Structure 1
Amino acid sequence: MSHRAPVQDAVISASEGLATLVGVLAEEHTVIGPTLRDGAIVLAELSAADDLPHGCGVELEAGRYRLVRRPDAMIFAHSAGPQSWKAYLHPQRERLWAVDRDTRGRLAFRAEDGEPPTYAFLGVRPCDLRAIAIQDRVLGGGPHADTAYRRRRDRTFIVAVECTDPGATCFCTSMGTGPGVGEDGPPAYDLALTEVLDGDGHRFRARAGSPAGERVLARLPRRTCDPATRAAARTAVTAAAEHMERAMPPVDLHTLMAGSHDAARWDDVAARCLTCGNCTMVCPTCFCTTTEDITDLTGDHAERWQRWDSCFDLDFSHLHGGPVRASARSRYRQWLTHKLGTWHDQFGESGCVGCGRCIVWCPAGIDITEEAAALHAEDQGSRATDEEAPS
């Protein structure tokens, strides 16, 4: 019996190929991808490839998001929207267990152990691909793994899409998380797509990154990837990196944050920060939660729920007598120094992937790259002053 070699690098069309892909994925998965809703490109369930945002782009700036019509039919030429994939893998609110008391006072506990959804994520950006890998380590690894997260993650099929048109607030290049998925090392996706639109037509370079991805790709109308398409795809990703408008300062951010505890810049940002927590809600790696216990009027039924929490919430650090971090200064400092600094101590890498969501969706337009640069400038100024001071 002959065995066909696995399909690993192919070309699929933006019409029939993409439509077939959604159909194949929908046979066994709930397909989630970008679509238009309420004046934004959001993540939602897709019923067909026509639900994708054909010909749509976005204009981004600090505290500003605007949907625009593109002059072409590109489907994924837009940067990350307000949601991240953690909304599906690490839901904003979920019940952990319920308990009922019968007439004899006996308690019956029921854990939430039903079958999790089987998702197929279509359109995962490289920055979000890294964010999922970070969540895998934080929530799915170690001796106290979140079993519900792990079960959802294990059942998820990921179709990554490389970025070819970054937004003005993107800075993934400086974080080493994009705009491409990378050619070296084990892939973190099942399929990777790169969109190409030129004189040879509208198409995708498609690469399989897992046995499941190979099986799906083998079912699509495709052809072997030709050198011209491969070169066009690589050129588009390279150009996206070169056109990135923002960047983190080229310093050791871990060391910078450790030495900036008393920086005057924290007072400046505190005067602007509303401590609303938007940055933590849209961040694809923020994972903090709290629990709530609720009961009915009889007291015979109770439930425990887990929901997202934010270090900007006063109650987040509440101990007997009040919150540990009562000021906006201390709460913003906690968020930024953890994200860029102490995250390294806990998890061995940065908690920022350069997606820029916290910049766009901050109502005060606070820019994390600007704040890091200001802290670096202040640190350099302090060092220069110390060197000039007489011994």
Structure 2
Amino acid sequence: MMQDFILQAGDLDLLVQAIRKEGFQVMGPVLRDKAITYDTVASAADLPQGWTDRQEKGCYRLERRDDDAYFGYAVGPHSWKKFLQLPRRQVWKARKDTNDIQVTEITEEPPRMAFLGVRSCELHAIAIQDRVFVDDQHSNENYAHRRSNLFIVAVNCTCAAATCFCTSMNTGPKVTLATDLAMTEVIDGDEHYFLIGSDSYRGSQVLRQLPVTPSGKRHEEAAARGVQNAVRQMEEGPRRFDSSDLKELLYRNYESASWDQVAERCLSCANCTMACPTCFCSTVEDTTDLSGDHAERWERWDSCFTADFSYVTGGPVRADTRSRYRQWMTHKLATWHDQFGSSGCVGCGRCITWCPVGIDLTEEVRNIRELEKPGPEQ
């Protein structure tokens, strides 16, 4: 069982520097372009201390908190997948030399990365992508290599955005998956500290370098109250729903009128899939220079919302927005179970926040349920 210690908030930078000393490039939350995104963190001063995010359908705003919390926000527009499944990368290049063609596979030695501030829903998202890119029969070597060197510092959520619904997906807000270090930020009166513990040898090595003290019952109860506050916000919020039978519900309603209703609003812009921490679709682009002597292949993110994604001889398999949205939602919440043994949704709410027309996945689930109910005349 993980033993918890107390790290004073003023010593948080010692944690950052200890991880860097172990040879990791620390990636964490920073303020960029009026949002909290993930980027390089050189010190605790780079973290969004005192800031929070207000999220709703098609709305994201940064606001000042009334305290100095370092992790007093939910999730931003970007997920950790951008560091593991790169948005765009070169796969190979080829050059014609006289009558010989030389093909060179592009290999790289990625930096040893440490993710600081990973939420429970995001840990589940990384685990889902692991099943796709590492555990599946068709593994992605680039992803697997980056993932193998990863050091993770998880943070329990003590507040939730209005778009969060991880409690409905059983993915948070408390960290339950194994991680190198796990922390809970506590602000109680004049006290500001982190309850911190380790799940791994690497994490314990970092922990030994910090000026921590053993935690007491009151510290653990204060941390538990913080996590329970996030639970309460979601349980009392508008996004709570029953996910226990989603697979069967969607299979029964493949021809529901709800798909026509959502298609009238959906722009097929693919924002939901780009922001989603588990969507993994990609495509390859082959380019050749004008001389015909040089060619390259690049892999980049793609989306089931684009018309070309399902294009085969004769045209796209999913030619309209109705079929594309149905594909995305049914795959995410239903057929993903058949492929990978779990839902593809972790309840982070990004698809709700970053949809320009405010389509809400939880509302669509409720709408399908309502349309399935027999009318009075029946």
TM-score range with shorter-chain normalisation?
Answer: over 0.9
Pick from 9, 12, 29: which aligns with 1:14? 9
Paired residue type of 1:77: G
**Structure-to-structure mapping, 1:161-240, within 5 angstroms:** 161-182=155-176, 187-199=177-189, 201-240=191-230
**How far did 1:248 drift?**
2.8
* Pairing 1:270–2:260 present: no
Q: Distance in 2 between matches of 1:269 and 1:38?
A: 30
* Count of aligned pairs between the two proteins: 374
- Deviations 1:41-92 (CA, angstroms, capped at 9, x unpaired): 1111111110000000111100000000000001101000000000000010
Pick from 348, 364, 377: which aligns with 1:355? 348
Pick from 310, 320, 334: which aligns with 2:313? 320
Pick from 242, 246, 249: which aligns with 2:232? 242
**How far did 1:297 drift?**
2.2
Identity level (%): 51
Deviation above 6 Å: which 4+ runs of structure 1? none
Pick from 339, 363, 369: which aligns with 2:332? 339
Q: Which residue of 2 aligns with 1:155?
A: 149
Q: Distance in 2 between matches of 1:301 and 1:221?
A: 56
Q: Which residue of 2 aligns with 1:374?
A: 367
- Deviations 1:115-160 (CA, angstroms, capped at 9, x unpaired): 1221100000100000000000011112211111111000010000
Question: What secondary structure sits across from 1:15 in the alignment?
Answer: helix
Contact 2:181/2:196, CA 8 A, preserved across alignment: yes
Q: Distance in 1 between matches of 2:30 and 2:65?
A: 15
Paired residue type of 1:274: L
Pick from 245, 248, 252: which aligns with 1:252? 245
Unmatched 5+ residue regions in structure 2? none
Q: Which residue of 2 aligns with 1:39?
A: 34
TM-score normalised to the size of structure 2? 0.96
* Pairing 1:29–2:24 present: yes
Q: Distance in 2 between matches of 1:127 and 1:76?
A: 15
Contact 1:7/1:217, CA 8 A, preserved across alignment: no
Q: Which residue of 2 aligns with 1:289?
A: 282
Pick from 96, 110, 120: which aligns with 1:116? 110
Q: What is the root-mean-square deviation in Å for CA atoms of aligned residues?
A: 1.4
Bigger CA drift: 242-251 or 358-367?
242-251
* Pairing 1:138–2:132 present: yes
Paired residue type of 1:135: Q
Contact 1:159/1:193, CA 8 A, preserved across alignment: yes
Pick from 75, 83, 88: which aligns with 1:93? 88
Paired residue type of 1:56: W
Q: Distance in 2 between matches of 1:165 and 1:172?
A: 12
Bigger CA drift: 126-135 or 191-200?
191-200
Question: What secondary structure sits across from 2:369 in the alignment?
Answer: helix
Unmatched 5+ residue regions in structure 1? 1-5
Q: Distance in 2 between matches of 1:255 and 1:367?
A: 20
Paired residue type of 2:93: A
Paired residue type of 1:202: H
- Deviations 1:86-123 (CA, angstroms, capped at 9, x unpaired): 00000100111111121x22122211222122110000
